[in-house]
Structure 1
Amino acid sequence: MTVTRLWVHPRGNRKELKDLTTLPDGSDLLHLFHGFAADVSPDKLLKATTESFANVHAVSPKGRTITMAVDVGRYGETGAITNVHTMVESGRFSKDDATSVVTHGVFLLPSPGTSALLFTERSANQSGVLRILELFAAKFKTAYPDLILETESLVESEAWLKYAKLVRVSAYTHRRSKDLSDRSDVTLQTQPLGELAHTLLPPRGAKSLPRWVYDQLVNGDLHAGQLLQFSHDEEPDETEVTLEGNNQRKTFVLGREKRPSISYPLSDHGEDVWTDHRIRTFALEQAEDLFDRLGIDWSPADAIGTWTQAQLDTRLVNASGQQT
């Protein structure tokens, strides 16, 4: 599960954060997002470029929260459905059939609040909830042309980074067939051949690498090529580090982001998937701390309460007053 922050500012003024619960027309972003998620059809969620499919199963509002269950999967291939215990084929699927699972999302917005949080469950790196967010952002732009809806992944706190242990460093360089041009049996080409990877792991019996290795890599005092003994004329294309702390392991590429994105492991191979209730409860357990980092108050009272019919009926409308 990852966490996305949403906030709104006037066009041309990124520093002025708007209260999401009272937009210029008086609308509440929480109610607008609920209406959009409740109405969006599977054909809108279909994405041909990635051959991905999504379909909303349930949208459940409660208090200042919305819990969503969204079917997500891939299509575009043909094949057989086989029972792995009997090895008997039980059916076939075509390019128009999608193999899918249900993933969840939890949208939280306290009142007042200049930021909302969207907790997103992924399966095999797929999430139908993020597709809903992508389409909602496009519709928001039409409904509020003078405002910009921003989204970004929340990253781990400085405290987590400070105390996390370094457990792996890997560096990669892309190899091409011309690198082997000194061999008489290799045709001179420039097509990608593969990646050369050098990895540093803790010594036998140790659980982590020295912390100074990570600190110096980040500060630029130590180069991955030097650390991992690449040849003098070869510099790694990217360096990847793995940190571990509080029963969580994060892997990220140095230079792409200062801190790794927050990600919570939920279920592993062979374990039961989480229910809607368990997903929502978990998101609420993290909410107060995450909102506090953003300078926003979240209380247990925000998680309770029944919506009015008017709130349930709220929808995005464009500049002409038509529902988008």
Structure 2
Amino acid sequence: MAKHAYVAYRLTVSRNRQPEDALDVGNVDGKGSDLLALFHGFLRDVSTSALRDNRYERYLNVSNLAATGRTVRFEAHHGRFGTTGQLVDTLSGVTTHEFDEDESPVSVTRNILASPSSGRWAIFLAERYGGRGAASMVLSQFKRAFRRRFDSADLLVKHEGLMDSDAWEKFIESAEMTALEIKRFGLSSDRSHPMAEKTVGKIVTQVKPNWGEKKFPRRLRDAIIDGDVRAQELVGMPALDADEVEAVLEDGNQQRRLLIGQAAVPILAYPIAEDRDERPADAQVYAAMEEKVSEVNGKLGLKLPYDWKAGQWSDEALSVKLDAIRDS
């Protein structure tokens, strides 16, 4: 995973049990409730009082919250608690701090939500620094708060990784296959074993390149991905229809697993800077994210207006509330 990168998610609103019928994100309930303003209200509540997720022992706070045009920007302070430990200077070996179960080493990441005033989906872009980001906690807690607010209307928010086929094609062009995994599910083949009839297991066979090599030949990689060669043939296994085969692909910035034969495109991370560079400034991070939003807007029909980055919010929009759910 690239050290300086971001990921992108697609957000939709639908009625429970009708996930395919996406509602207008600018008017989710037919009464003028705007997903963007609700998201801002949720973040404003968290910025006033940080969230402790006791179930998963996660912490979230928000700072530098800014709303302009059809966007909301913010910094997420996130970490985990629930264990004791020490912070050590790895150069000197000196312990610089000891922390207890209520303390958390916190990372700060930059994030953007862009949402049209009339459209079927919004885009959330979340920085990942050193492979870590706050997207999971931000989105899961926002969805909880949204569901409680619109429980009577049976509305819910759904998020999924942005499927960018062009970005995936660029990844495929440069990525090398570094491993294969063959997964087989079912009853034990050892029928003589007394537990065989009750044992449902998973057998995972991993295929690696030859000793001293880090990747498979390109021709073999292409044949596996295209389905011309079955991975089971490489290890002398009979191929079964129920088998799952995953190819592990790496391009130097990230590692992704491709389930052979699956139509869905894996979620990609988009590098912002080289790993050896210093951490990018806010301007560089937000510029990279906004460039992706503009690209998606034109290519995937996000339906943002031409001036989506500009414009002040009204006092009414800024005052929309959505209280986070705080566990006792």
Match of 1:298 in 2: 304
Q: Is 1:172 the equivalent of 2:181?
A: yes
The aligned runs of 1:66-215 (5 Å cut-off) are: 66-144=72-150, 145-157=153-165, 160-161=168-169, 164-172=173-181, 197-200=206-209, 209-210=218-219, 213-214=221-222
Q: Establish whether residue 277 from structure 1 lines up as the match of residue 286 from structure 2.
A: no
Stretches of structure 1 lacking an aligned partner (at least 5 in a row): 175-189, 318-324
| Contact 1:42-1:54 within 8 A present in 2 as well | no
Judge conservation of contact 2:178–2:250 (CA < 8 Å) in 1. no
Aligned Cα root-mean-square deviation (Å): 3.7
Give 1:18 deviation, angstroms.
Answer: 2.2
Q: Which one has more relative contact order, counting CA pairs under 8 Å at least 6 apart?
A: 2
Gaps of 5+ in 2: 1-5, 184-198, 324-328
- Quote the offset at 1:92 in angstroms: 1.7
User: C-alpha distance in 2, partners of 1:259/1:307?
Assistant: 36
Deviation at 1:265, TM superposition (A): 2.0
Name whichever of 80-89 and 116-125 sits farther off.
80-89
- SS of equivalent to 2:297: helix
1:41 to 1:110, Cα distance in 2 relative to 1, 3 A: closer
Q: CA deviation at 1:117?
A: 0.3
Q: How many pairs were matched up?
A: 295
Matching residue of 1:222 = 229
**1:315, distance to aligned residue in structure 2 (A):** 1.9
Change (3 A) 1:268 1:248: closer
Q: 1:232 and 1:54, CA in 2 relative to 1: closer, same or farther beyond 3 A?
A: same
Indicate if the aligned counterparts of 1:20 and 1:113 stay in contact, CA closer than 8 A. Answer: yes
- Could you report, residue by residue, the CA deviation over 1:158-197 in whole angstroms, capped at 9, with x for unpaired residues? 57427624411412368xxxxxxxxxxxxxxx9x9x9763
Kept in 2: contact 1:164–1:243 (CA 8 A): no
- Tell me how far 1:147 sits from its aligned partner: 2.8
Q: Percent identity?
A: 23
Contact 1:104–1:129 (Cα < 8 Å) also in 2? no
TM-score (norm 1): 0.76
Counterpart of 2:41 (choices 22, 31, 35) is: 35
CA contact (8 A) 2:272 2:285 kept: no
The TM-score normalised by the length of structure 2 is: 0.75
Q: What does residue 26 of structure 2 align with?
A: 21
Report the Cα offset of residue 155 of structure 1.
Answer: 2.1
Name the aligned partner's letter for residue 26 of structure 2: T
Please report how far the alpha carbon of residue 133 of structure 1 lies from its aligned counterpart in structure 2 after TM superposition.
1.6
Q: Counterparts of 1:79 and 1:5 in 2: how far apart (Å)?
A: 37
> Quick check: 30-39 or 20-29, which moved more?
20-29
